[in-house]
Each structure stands twice: as C-alpha cells, then as structure tokens.
Amino acid sequence: MKKVGLLTSGGDCQALNATMRGIAKTLYNLYGDEVEIIGFEEGYRGLIYDDYRVMKKEDFSGILTVGGTMLGTSRTPFKLIREPDENGLNKVAAMIHTYKKLKLDCLFVLGGNGSLKTANLLSEEGLNVIGLPKTIDNDLWGTDVTFGFQSAVSIATSAIDSIHTTAASHGRVFIVEVMGHKVGWLTLYAGIAGGADIILLPEIPYDLDKICDALKERGKAGKHFSIIAVAEGAISKEDAALTKKELKKKREKGEKYPSVAYELAAKIGEKTGQEVRVTVPGHMQRGGAPIPYDRVLSTRLGAEAARLFDKKKFGLMVAAKNNEITSIPLKETAGKLKTVDPKSEIVRAAKLTGISFGD
C-alpha cells in the first residue's frame, strides 16, 4: 500500500482542486486500491498539528471546475517556520513527526514561493516531497506559468473591460488596482488584455509627471478618459531610490492612503484637474471557477507529479517549460522570484502600441 499526503498552502486560487484531482486520478490509475491519500487541513497547519483526513476516490470527482481548495489553506510564513509556536512546539519537528507517524511515502505540496521554501526545507530534512507551482502572481522561478495565473488574469481583465464604458461615459480617469505586491505579471497581462492606457508595475518605478503627461496627451488627441492598471506594489522612482528603512519612515510620517491606487488618484487629480476614480477587484481575482487553460495545466502538472512519485523522484517541483511539463529541483526555485524584465519583449510590445509605463 502506497501512502501519500496532500496539502494546499498560502493564498488560494482557482485551480487547486483541479490540480489535486490530477494527482489523485493518476495515482488511482497507477495503483488502484493500493494507494491511500491523506489530505491535511489548512495547509502546513494540518501537518504541524496532525489535522488530516483520509481521502476517498469520490472526493476527487466533480471538482475540476470548482475554485478554492477543498482542504482549506492558511499562511505559515517561512521566516517563522523554525520558531516555536505559542506553546513552544517545534513546528519543523512536528511536521516530520506527523509524516513519519502516518508512514507517508511522499508529500505533495501545492503552493507558491513561501510554501515551496518550506517544502524544500522538509526535503532537506529527509522527507520525500514533490512541489506544484501555485500562485496567481506567476512569480515562481523555474516555470513559465503557475496554475491560477491565467484564471486571475481573466478576472482582472474583465474588471478593466467593465470600467471602460463608465470611464468613457463620464470622461474620467479610472485606476484599477490589480493584485501583486512584488511582481507585476498579473497587472501586465490584464492591462494589455484589457486595453489599459497606462500600466504601473513594481519592476518599473513610475514618474508621476510622466503619468500626467500621458494623460494630457490623450486629452489632446480627443480621448477624454483613461484607464490605469496599477499593481499593488507599484512604486515611484523617488521611493524606489530609498532604502527599506527610509521608505518605512517616510510612509509613517506621510499621508495615509489605503493603497497606492488611492495615493495616485489624489496626486493625479491635483496635478491634472481630472476626475479620478479607483476600483479594486481584490480577492475576486482569486475566486470563481478556473478557466479551461488552468484546468488543462493543472491536470498536466498533477499527472506529472504523480508520475514522479511512481518513478521515486523526489525533491522536485513540476514546472511548465516551453509548453512542456518538466521538473526542477526544489532547491533551485525556493526563495527565488520570477520578476518582469523591463526590457522584455512583452513590455516592448506594449510600449510600441502606445501603452505608458510611467517611466
């Protein structure tokens, strides 16, 4: 009898269930009734505190189109993973104990950057671990795309699409704030797909004057409304030049805005005199059913993860490369961010079509 564990960690996304289904269906196809799948509740928390359930075949039926995760998830920050909990429990030792107590042959971890850092830690501690790349941010190094990304792009694009008519009707500037604290893949793709006039990313610090100049040029061309797609982590050139300590001090002393979108709205309105409104789709971008692209990608990634288990290949993360499913060592992706290259072809193409990046 083979025994494997499943957990989903970190932020949720649309294709977690679809990916678990891909793993499970492949395992059942390979081993029939000679495999037992243990589902850990709420991510690493379930592994730490021995909170799990034995899954049944029927648990994996009818979930291909269901968003979220049937196992629940939670954030267990990697930087705190080696610190004892409030009761003095050694979290790493507890996870290893649970794994060995259940006599698992492998642990499948569906997660993003922080979650896979913990997966790599467990692998280095001697456990058999296979990671699967989950995040709407598409920021995992070593894979061209993560599951959940394209579904989130679809929702963010829909939000921008819906803003166009009201922006045009009232002649306003609309700022749509898209998720992405450290990287701008989601904002970049949704901004291009949604026809945004200005796209602001964490990787390309913006100049407020350049943004206002772009808006004025649109006005001169007879275009009396504009759409700005801004990532949560977008930053001005002035702030980007500061150290983390200096930036924190500046923000503590400065005006308080709910987010960068509201700060930009206030400053653009003041400099241009235009009416500016803010829309924040927020967690809608994580919700709903996965689009067909993610259902296919998740199935492929899940099947490959199960195949690696069958071949006894561990310490790996399955990945998509050049439209093929492959794998890389967990240690190669752990802790690395895949950021948008300001000189990349996709940014160049966007600029050639007239999109401003505020730089």
- Catalytic annotation, residues: 137
Buried b (16+ CB within 10 A) or exposed e, 285-297: bbbbbbbebbbeb
Q: How far apart are CA 93 and CA 76, in angstroms?
A: 15
Residue 4, classed as helix, strand or coil, is strand
Instruction: Tell me the CB-side half-sphere exposure of residue 180, using CA atoms within 13 A.
Output: 36
CB 131 within 8 A of CB 119: yes
Q: How far apart are CA 263 and CA 269, in angstroms?
A: 10
Tokens describing residue 341? 């290259």
Q: How far apart are CA 50 and CA 220, in angstroms?
A: 64
- DSSP per position, 67-113: -S-TT------GGGTTS--TT---HHHHHHHHHHHTT-SEEEEEE-H
